Each structure stands twice: as structure tokens, then as C-alpha cells.
Amino acid sequence: MKKINVITVCGSGTVSSTMVAEKLKEALGEKGYSVSTVEITPQEVLCFIEDGNFDFIAYTTPIPEQHQVPAINAVGFLTGFGEEEFLEEVDKVLATLI
Amino acid sequence: MFGVETIELQYKANKAEDVLKRLGQLLYDYDFVKDTYLKGVLEREKVYPTGLPSRGISIAIPHTDPIHVKKSQIAVMTLKNPVLFSMMGSPEVTLPVQIVFMMAIKEPKQQLQLLKQLMKVFQDEKLLQEILASQDEENLKTLLSQNLLTREEV
């Protein structure tokens, strides 16, 4: 199993972010990834990036600009309208990790 | 467990704020939320908008923190004419919203369940059309209860 670390972000840091995290674990689990997630608010993003080693961020609310970790809009993944596009973006990020 | 007692059909509104105020007031009148709830929703919607696009009908799912909620409830509104809401995750994009589900939920876990159910409803264009066309509150309550309450909750 390839292990990846993901930050999921929503306004409350609890609900949408958890739903995105669950869906990610399922979708990427099928592709052979073991996904660890932290669910946080936009205000916590910069702090978490400083402290941790994350492969990408999936967000449903806008997050502060930063250049360390790739960030992908996950609203389409949440609703299901745009799920494939989201997963393509994720694949692109994962392809850069070896 | 949460209820779907607060419904407003074919509401006429010019802007998102009118919609939020009406539904917030309705939830307050029925004593489902504290007097701080509406302010919480209005502020949150400005920073983290909740409009969501689908293939056809756009919806919005305004909400705020559980501390403003007394008893879990979802208030539903269908709009006579679409009202512009900013899109979740992309506030620069506006969407013509026709159905609004205002969530007043006490437990984050419950809210997660409800969000999952809502996204299922949202995938079902036929069901959304049915909700939008509904002219009868009681029928809509039944329809929504069947589709929004999870098995454990029924």
C-alpha cells in the first residue's frame, strides 16, 4: 500500500471535509493507496502545512494562498458533479510522488 | 433525528439574503434555533457560500455552527424565480438557485449524515424536479422524510 497524507478543508472543519475525506479514502483505496487525512478549517491550513508532510489539499472552501502543497477544489467531488475531473487532478498530483 | 417541518413553497425573493432571512425566521418561530442562528448563517454565507451546481437545478445548503441550534431541523424552500447564490468553494461564481435546504443541526455527525443524504437527492434530477414542482407541503414533507432520513433514523 502506498501511503499518502491529505488535508481536507471546509468552513467548519468537520462536515464537508469529513465527507470529502471518506470519499477520498474509498476512491483512492480502490487504486491501492492508504489515505490518512486531517479535516480542518481554512484558518488552520498554513499552520498544518508548516508542521506536517502532506501530499495535497482537497478543499470545499477557499484556502489561503500558499505554494508548498498542491491544492484541489473538491466541491465537484462532494456533489458528484465533477467527480472524475477532481480525481484526474488527484491522479496528476499522485503521479508526481515517487 | 431531525425533522422537516419548516417548508416554504414557491417563495418570491430577489436576493439570497431575503431567502436566508425568511428561512432563518421560520426556524426561529418554530423554536428550532436560537436568536443568534440567523446572524450566524448570514455571516457564514458571506465567507463560505453554499450554492451548488448540478446538471439542471442548482441548490444551496446554508447553515452555521451547531451552538446556534436548539433542535435539529431542516428548512426547505422552493423559489418561484431563481435567486443568485455564490458557489461553494468558488465565491466568484454565482448560481441561479431554485431549491434551498437550510440545515439547523445540533450534532456534526448528524450533519454529515444529512449532507450525504442531500448529495444523494442532489444526484437525482427527477427527484429535484419533483421537489421544485411540489404545491403541497404535506406531500413534500413525506417525500423529503423518505429521502433525507437515513435508515437508522426512520
- CATH code of the domain containing A28: 3.40.50.2300
List pLDDT tens digits, range B78-125.
999 999 999 999 999 999 999 999 999 998 888 899 999 999 999 999
Q: Is A32 exposed, middle or buried (0-12, 13-18, 19+ CB in 10 A)?
A: exposed
The pLDDT score that the predictor gives to residue A84 is 96
Q: What is the mean pLDDT of residues A9-25?
A: 95
Per the CB < 8 Å rule, is A73 touching B53?
no
E-strand spans in B12-143?
Answer: 51-52, 58-60, 73-87, 90-104
Question: CATH classification of B7-140, choosing from 3.40.930.10, 3.40.50.2000, 3.40.640.10, 3.60.15.10?
Answer: 3.40.930.10
**Scanning every residue of chain A, which has its alpha carbon at the shortest distance from the alpha carbon of B64?**
A12
Q: pTM of the full predicted structure?
A: 0.93
Residue percentage of chain B with pLDDT more than 70: 96
In this structure, are residues A10 and A57 in contact, taking their beta carbons and an 8 Å threshold?
Answer: no
Which member of B54, B112, B115 has the closest CB to residue A81? B54
Distances (CA, A) of B135 to B11, B80, B132: 11, 11, 9
Is the model's pLDDT at B27 over the cut of 60?
yes
Tell me which of B88, B101, B107, B118 to substitute to probe the interface with A (most A C-beta atoms closer than 10 Å): B88
Distances (CA, A) of A36 to A5, B87, B94: 5, 28, 33
Is the model's pLDDT at B74 over the cut of 80?
yes
Q: What is the mean pLDDT of residues B132-144?
A: 93
**Residue B151 forms contact with A (CB below 8 Å):** no
Q: What is the mean pLDDT of residues B17-45?
A: 97
How distant is the alpha carbon of residue A27 from its chain centre?
Answer: 12
Q: How far apart are CA B147 and CA B143, in angstroms?
A: 6
The pLDDT score that the predictor gives to residue B153 is 47
Using only C-alpha atoms, what is the Rg of chain A? 12
Look at chain A and report how many structural domains it folds into: 1
Q: Which residues of A touch B122 (CB under 8 A)?
A: 79-80
Chain B 57-116, CB below 8 Å of chain A: which residues? Answer: 65, 87-91, 108, 111-112, 115-116
Is the model's pLDDT at A3 over the cut of 50?
yes
Q: What is the mean pLDDT of residues B36-61?
A: 95
The pLDDT score that the predictor gives to residue B1 is 65
Is the model's pLDDT at B149 over the cut of 80?
no
Is the model's pLDDT at A12 over the cut of 60?
yes
**Scanning every residue of chain A, which has its alpha carbon at the shortest distance from the alpha carbon of B91?**
A62
Q: Please state, rounded to an integer, the average pLDDT across all residues of chain B.
A: 93
Q: What is the mean pLDDT of residues B70-75?
A: 95
Q: How far apart are CA B126 and CA B22, in angstroms?
A: 27
CA distance A75 to chain B (A): 6
* Domain interval for residue A24: 2-95
The pLDDT score that the predictor gives to residue B150 is 62
Per the CB < 8 Å rule, is A60 touching B52?
no
The pLDDT score that the predictor gives to residue B154 is 41
**Residue A12 forms contact with B (CB below 8 Å):** yes
Parse chain B into domains and list their residue ranges.
7-140
**Residue A78 forms contact with B (CB below 8 Å):** yes
Per the CB < 8 Å rule, is A73 touching B89?
yes
The pLDDT score that the predictor gives to residue A98 is 67
The pLDDT score that the predictor gives to residue B141 is 92
Q: Which residues of B touch A59 (CB under 8 A)?
A: 89
